[in-house]
């Protein structure tokens, strides 16, 4: 029970650095990378929604009264489909949509919407020892932009920081380590995810690559409920334009994410979490996420 439920819970716990920088582009759920492989001829479908809000600027590590925008928020829904092609090999695809990605100023509001990048991933269970309760799973994938140009609304070209995708191809690499303890109620996961972005297709701009390291401690509270605490360190490189770094982009964020997982029925799960940045060290002054809240449903099918 713990083994199955814990694996699915990891989908939801990993929230990348782009949530901490409130209106940066990118995938705010990243569900394609945060669970292990699927059994052969099994299908997993995940539907998730995330709300993010921020209203505070930070100058490096310190809060600042300086403001360009008053606040920002987004609502994002993602669908992730995973298929067990072989015993150790899983194919996965994710598509997401921003219902809004909003920057509110004292004098106006900018609101963007649209699809995020499509992500395709291959996962391979490199090492899986049931006696030692250990699994190691690397993964590699690509990001494909749905759009290649910045959004133009009412003849106004929207800034890079509220685009709904990177407007460019990219590579995603991951490494997943799981250790279940002898009581079969507690598990530890270490998880690394790196996203390397290429130059935008139609413009001289490149979003900074991101690097994330997470740890998860999960415990079976009842026969249907798992409680999990994630700690995460995220680093984002500065964006790049005209052969130099873009000011006030990139930096480091440390976050915690408590989560509750509930098994509604066999192979059918509900998850909720809150993601809270607790440390920031930005390059320059940036609007930071204050919190984000997520819910998801996950269903497994044996084909």
| Domain total of the chain | 1
% of the chain residues with pLDDT over 70: 88
Q: What is the mean pLDDT of residues 225-246?
A: 94
Rounded distance between C-alpha atoms, residue 277 and residue 54, angstroms: 11
What's the N-to-C CA distance of the chain in angstroms? Answer: 21
Which residues are CB-neighbours of 244 under 8 A, at least 6 positions away?
Answer: none
Q: pLDDT tens across 34-91, in order?
A: 467 889 999 999 999 999 999 999 999 999 998 999 999 999 999 999 999 999 999 9
Rounded distance between C-alpha atoms, residue 217 and residue 247, angstroms: 37
Pull the structure tokens for residue 135: 């699994």
Q: pLDDT tens across 150-180, in order?
A: 988 888 888 898 999 999 999 999 999 999 8
How many angstroms from the chain centroid is the CA of residue 148? 21
Helices (H), the chain: 2-13
Q: What is the pLDDT of residue 209?
A: 95
Q: Which domain holds residue 272?
A: 2-302
Length of the chain: 303
Rounded distance between C-alpha atoms, residue 149 and residue 167, angstroms: 6
Q: pLDDT tens across 112-134, in order?
A: 999 999 999 999 999 988 888 89
CB burial of residue 42 (10 Å; 0-12, 13-18, 19+): middle
What's the farthest any 2 CA atoms get from each other in the chain? 62
Q: Which residue has the tokens 């099918």?
A: 301
User: CATH number of the domain that 11 lies in?
Assistant: 2.40.160.40
Q: What is the mean pLDDT of residues 193-206?
A: 93
CA distances from residue 184 to 33, 147, 177, 233 in whole angstroms, order as listed: 24, 46, 16, 27
């Amino acid at each position: 029970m713990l083994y199955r439920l814990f694996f699915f819970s990891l989908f939801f716990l990993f929230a990348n650095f782009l949530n901490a920088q409130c209106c940066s582009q990118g995938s705010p759920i990243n569900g394609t990378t945060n669970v292990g492989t699927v059994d052969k001829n099994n299908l997993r479908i995940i539907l998730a929604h995330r709300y993010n809000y921020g209203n505070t600027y930070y100058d490096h590590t310190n809060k600042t009264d300086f403001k360009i925008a008053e606040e920002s928020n987004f609502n994002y829904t993602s669908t992730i489909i995973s298929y067990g092609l072989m015993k150790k090999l899983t194919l996965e695809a994710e598509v997401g949509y921003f219902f809004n990605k909003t920057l509110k100023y004292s004098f106006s509001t900018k609101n963007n919407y649209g699809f995020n990048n499509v992500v395709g991933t291959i996962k391979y269970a490199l090492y899986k020892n049931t006696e030692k309760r250990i699994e190691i799973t690397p993964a590699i994938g690509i990001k494909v932009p749905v759009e290649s140009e910045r959004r133009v609304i009412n003849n106004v070209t929207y800034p890079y920081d509220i685009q709904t995708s990177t407007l460019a191809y990219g590579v995603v690499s991951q490494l997943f380590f799981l250790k279940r303890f002898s009581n079969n109620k507690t598990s530890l996961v270490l998880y690394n995810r790196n996203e390397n972005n290429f130059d935008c297709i139609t413009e001289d701009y490149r979003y900074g690559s991101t690097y994330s390291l997470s740890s998860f401690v999960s415990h079976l509270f009842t026969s249907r409920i798992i409680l999990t605490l994630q700690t995460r360190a995220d680093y984002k490189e500065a964006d790049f334009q005209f052969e130099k770094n873009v000011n006030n982009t990139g930096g480091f964020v440390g976050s915690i994410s408590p989560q509750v997982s509930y098994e509604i029925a066999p192979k059918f799960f509900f998850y909720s979490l809150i993601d809270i940045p607790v440390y920031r060290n930005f390059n320059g002054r940036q609007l930071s996420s204050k919190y984000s809240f997520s819910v998801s449903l996950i269903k497994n099918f044996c084909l």
